[in-house]
Structure 1
């Protein structure tokens, strides 16, 4: 069980410093937490080998690995750590997958400070913790067994089209004036949205559903 008689560690895992600072400012009044922050999955996994984290706020799009897989890994090795996803990803399929991978809750990054604190409290009590907008998304009926046609952003569609045309990540980065890391992050997000493991399957499904 998690210790409740001493300071608990709350970890934020997000690769955007402004998000980390914003969350720290929202949590500054929570005196029973010591707040840590990490920008990659590898960093937090290394920390968890020797230290206990009571609750972990986890972004899904990380530079080195998927938050979905990271959640599963954390819960396997540190089952007492409460994981709350906090993301811009509003896809029903991703929310469901995150919860199936062991997350205790899911919030969108536009959630209010009160919602965040309430979800942390619920998570610590062993309850499911969902922001109001996530509850609405999950309440919508799934259109078919495959959790609906993913909604891609304009940039994701642009990158997917170029991948389908045979361009490499380096070529796409040069073409769109992006870093290669940004292109790779978009690739991972697209694969996650299609609930598959490789880009070949994504392209096949995208063509079948006339996304590209």
Structure 2
């Protein structure tokens, strides 16, 4: 995606009123375009398949979790399996923390409360397309209280990998990490991959949550 291109978003939620509210938020943001909307996971996958056939995939999917039929957790995994270039940002409520954990394990890039302010929605979308992490502070506190300890712990990380972990939790992309540490982007990617493997985690967002839980950074 070029800098000048709008961020194209597919909104997925089974409640029409919620969808209309989210779409109204998005339409008020500069450089954001609503690509389409869907009422459940299967409809979202069908829309994405048709969009892919025409070379018109969106950049980000805003995904509700609790939906009839194919729920948001299953849909997130399927979206990222079939369309690995897409980003999924979860729309959640405080009662869905277990589902949020499952969605993050499926590869979701971040999460927002359904009553998030427009600025937070904007920040989450922009973080996703830059391959960065957006952590809603209120949800993060809940998630870190429930998060299981990593299988190996922070002690297995090198000093450099801990630096990289902190930068991930600050929302830095691989490019930003490389610039900050004066290393190549390829080396930054390698550090990220190694620390995820060592800690038994599957995504940057999970790593950022663990950094918050371990007190390396504070939730924003």
Give the TM-score band, short-chain normalised. Answer: 0.5 to 0.7
Structure 1 contact 90–108 (Cα < 8 Å) conserved: no
| Residue of structure 1 equivalent to 2:31 | 32
Structure 2 contact 26–33 (Cα < 8 Å) conserved: no
Instruction: Provide the aligned length of Structure 1 versus Structure 2.
Output: 144
Which entry has the higher C-alpha Rg, 1 or 2?
1
Residue number among 79, 89, 99 corresponding to 2:84 in the alignment: 79
Unaligned segments of structure 2, at least 5 residues: 52-56, 151-220
Per-residue displacement from partner, 1:27-76 (whole Å, max 9, x unpaired)?
12334333121112222111111321201100011122111010000000
Q: Distance in 2 between matches of 1:38 and 1:141?
A: 31
| Residue of structure 2 equivalent to 1:62 | 67
Alpha carbons of 1:92 and 1:7: their partners in 2 closer, same or farther (altered >3 Å)? closer
Q: What value does the CA root-mean-square deviation take over the aligned residues?
A: 2.3
Structure 2 contact 29–118 (Cα < 8 Å) conserved: no
The yes-or-no answer on 1:101 pairing with 2:106 is yes
The yes-or-no answer on 1:20 pairing with 2:19 is yes
The yes-or-no answer on 1:53 pairing with 2:52 is no
Per-residue displacement from partner, 1:53-100 (whole Å, max 9, x unpaired)?
201100011122111010000000011111001022544432221111
Q: Distance in 2 between matches of 1:31 and 1:124?
A: 15
Q: Distance in 2 between matches of 1:134 and 1:15?
A: 21
| Residue of structure 1 equivalent to 2:120 | 115
Q: Distance in 2 between matches of 1:70 and 1:60?
A: 9
- Greater Cα offset, 124-133 or 136-145: 136-145
**Residue 111 of structure 1: how far off its partner (Å):** 2.4
Unaligned segments of structure 1, at least 5 residues: 146-212
Alpha carbons of 1:95 and 1:47: their partners in 2 closer, same or farther (altered >3 Å)? same
Higher normalized helix content (fraction of residues): 2
**Residue 4 of structure 1: how far off its partner (Å):** 5.3
Q: Secondary structure at the match of 2:119?
A: helix
- Greater Cα offset, 127-136 or 77-86: 127-136
Q: Secondary structure at the match of 1:93?
A: helix
Q: Distance in 2 between matches of 1:114 and 1:47?
A: 27
Alpha carbons of 1:116 and 1:6: their partners in 2 closer, same or farther (altered >3 Å)? closer
| Residue of structure 2 equivalent to 1:159 | none
| Residue of structure 2 equivalent to 1:10 | 9
